[in-house]
Amino acid sequence: MSLLIKSGTLVTAEDVFSADILIEGETIAAIGVNLHVPDAEVIDASGRLILPGGVDPHVHLDLPMAGTVSSDDHYTGTKAAAFGGTTTVIDFVSQDYPTLREAVDRLRAKADQKVAVDYGLHMNITRFDEQVAGEIPCLPDLGVTSLKVFTAYNGRLRLQDGEIFQVLRIAGQNGLLTMLHAENGDVIEILISEALAAGHTSPEWHARTRPAWGAVEAVMRAAALAAQAGAPLYIVHMNAAGEVDMLHYARQRGVPVMGETCPQYLFFTEDDLRRPDGAKWVCSPPVRTPDDQERLWEGLADGILQTIGTDHCPFFYNGNQPLVYEGQPVAIPGKELGKDDFTKIPNGLPAVGDRLPVLWTYGVGSGRLTPSQFVALTSTNPAKIFGLYPRKGALFPGSDADIVIWDPERSLKYGRAHAMHRTDYNLYEGWELKGYPEKVFLRGRLIVDGEHWLGQAGAGKFLRRQPGAPTL
């Protein structure tokens, strides 16, 4: 059966124009004015915007941490993504098994049966030796073309600079992209020890023990390693003004380095950590200052930053109190685990469903971003960077029919009543929004219709990506 979406205003990363879209099966068949297709189902999109489904390049689903597990699994997290207009997510594979292949296979065995939107995978490299060096070039055979390394979390996730250099070089030689978490693990360990010894246990000390200067120097250090390795680099969850400056410096000198930020760093500050419920805002790296926010917005508008992901990794605020999800009570230990010690608060926030609605109102609606920049940052650019374009992130004939019909005039008071994350709070509770997804299609199938969920677990597909994606 054909589906014809009539009289909408298409918003792409390059243009805004009026057209009809014809969907045949799972893909876009044609785009044009006054299309007529006998027997097609017709949706009148007059007064609506038509966007490509969002691509979130940074989520953590069903992730064990701090004695518990993130509260969204691969079904609940992808359902929440869909309600927010995101139809593709990329999760991370932990290096928890003897080989990289086994780690990927184990995660897919868990995720494939649950995902409600399409998904890809990044591979964490948290230990490095000759065996791992030999396995990295084989990752494209598994459909994985991006790696992640850390300069923090000493003794758990961190690699040394020489190891990161080797990962970068191997990745670059094989058309893979290395992603990097930029903080200074040595300084963090010292500051945490000193804070606890002095009796500082409240959430604000999470930020105070992870100073922005550590992130700034780590970005520059990583860019220097990438330049010496001759390999592309992508800095995840950039949160500090100085990081934007370092990224700009490196890019001006031809280093193939790109940057991502997240909504929490655009809208919240260390003051939120000082609230009575400040544990809700504990994430790593931490939220910063208004000056940092302003520079991040400038970086997005000026093209220094390429994407807005979420680092979605939610936990219950009070895991002792069950909530009802799809008719069943659910209680998962959460941020109450750190009520007496900030180091025991699970690090992470709900965000995957909030990203597009909040950024539309407070990015596009405020004039900080154009509609095309919004689409580029949240859909097209991540699709290009991670080897999914033009299948994803585009409105072209032949692209997957991942389409959001967006009502630019809908006003609502946002919060848990609208966000579908499986957790007991929302960071944007009570925020006034204007502009919201009305219908969401995954490969031509309607999965969100207003407040109604039509998707299902296992309907999403694993996306096998090819190496050699461009550096933007």
Convert the pLDDT of each residue in 118-169 to its tens digit: 999 999 999 999 999 999 999 999 999 999 999 999 999 999 999 999 999 9
* pLDDT, tens digit (0-9, with 9 covering 90-100), for 399-419: 999 999 999 999 999 999 999
Contact 259, 244 (CB under 8 A): yes
Q: In Å, what is the CA distance from 375 to each residue of 223, 246, 307, 370?
A: 27, 25, 10, 9
Residue 280 confidence class, pLDDT cut points 50, 70, 90:
very high
Nearest to 424, CA basis, from 280, 297, 304, 311: 280
What is the distance between the alpha carbons of residues 10 and 24, in angstroms, rounded to a whole number? 18
Beta strand 2-11 with 432-442 is unpaired
Q: Is 88 helix (H, G, I), strand (E, B) or coil?
A: strand
Q: Facing residues of 235 across strands?
A: 180, 259
pLDDT at 1 over 90: no
Radius of gyration of the chain from its Cα atoms, rounded to whole angstroms: 21
Average pLDDT over residues 80-91: 98
Query: Which of 64-68, 425-429, 458-462 has the lowest average pLDDT?
Result: 64-68
Contact 60, 348 (CB under 8 A): yes
User: What are the sequence ranges of the domains in the chain?
Assistant: 2-52+393-453, 54-385
* pLDDT, tens digit (0-9, with 9 covering 90-100), for 128-140: 999 999 999 999 9
Average pLDDT over residues 299-303: 98
Tokens in use for 129?
Answer: 């030796």
Nearest to 177, CA basis, from 337, 291, 58: 58
Mean pLDDT rounded to a whole number for the chain: 98
* CATH match for 2-52+393-453 among 2.120.10.30, 2.30.40.10, 3.90.1150.10, 3.40.50.2000: 2.30.40.10
pLDDT at 2 over 90: yes
Task: Quickly count: other Cβ atoms within 10 Å of residue 34's Cβ.
Answer: 8
Average pLDDT over residues 44-56: 98
* pLDDT, tens digit (0-9, with 9 covering 90-100), for 206-241: 999 999 999 999 999 999 999 999 999 999 999 999
Average pLDDT over residues 241-260: 98
Tokens in use for 418?
Answer: 């609208």
Q: What is the CATH number of domain 54-385?
A: 3.20.20.140
**Burial class of residue 27, CB neighbours in 10 A (0-12, 13-18, 19+):** middle
Contact 149, 167 (CB under 8 A): yes
Average pLDDT over residues 283-300: 98
Q: pLDDT value at position 212?
A: 98
Q: pTM for this structure?
A: 0.98
Residue type present at position 287: V
**Burial class of residue 35, CB neighbours in 10 A (0-12, 13-18, 19+):** middle
Q: pLDDT value at position 163?
A: 98
